[in-house]
Amino acid sequence: MSKAERASPGTAARRPRPRKGIKPAASRGVQQKPRVQYTVRDVPAKVDEILRRKAHEERKSLNEVLKRALLKEAGVAQEPKTLYHDLDHLAGTWVEDPELDAIIAEQDRVDEDLWK
């Protein structure tokens, strides 16, 4: 008796139907690497508290926070670019100043006599 025959009605092993127009990754030539799962024991309570708080603050799952930490420790994480906000208060405050523009234009002028 085959596996499918032994299964009760309605629970026979079936392959999921592919969605129209989408081929499985293997048939698109995409090499899928096996994923690895870790179990970590004896995590100190303080570390657990910090990681869970970080996940909550970033609105991410604990799993995402831990994966990012593993990638960073392994040296393969792409660090997000640091955003600086110390000049944010100046954004959108530029005022046209024709006098300043004239002074800058004068400074940009090359004195040909000095470059001979």
Q: Is residue 46 part of a domain?
A: yes
Residue 91 is assigned to a structural domain of this protein: no
**pLDDT above 70 (res 53):** yes
Q: How many domains does the chain have?
A: 1
23 pLDDT more than 70: no
Residue 21 falls inside a structural domain: no
Is 44 part of a structural domain of the chain? yes
pLDDT for the residue 116? 75
**DSSP-assigned states of every residue in 6-60:** HSPTT----PPPPPTT---GGGGTPPPPPP---------HHHHHHHHHHHHHHT-
Residue 89 lies in a domain: no
Q: Are 7 and 13 in contact (CB under 8 A)?
A: yes
Helices 62-74, 45-58: axis angle to 10 degrees equals 110
**Which pLDDT score is estimated for 61?**
96
| Domain-located, residue 102 | no
pLDDT of 67: 92
In a domain, 42, yes or no: yes
Higher pLDDT, 74 or 15: 74
Flag whether 69 is in a domain: yes
The domain in which residue 47 lies consists of: 38-75
Full-prediction pTM beyond 0.85? no
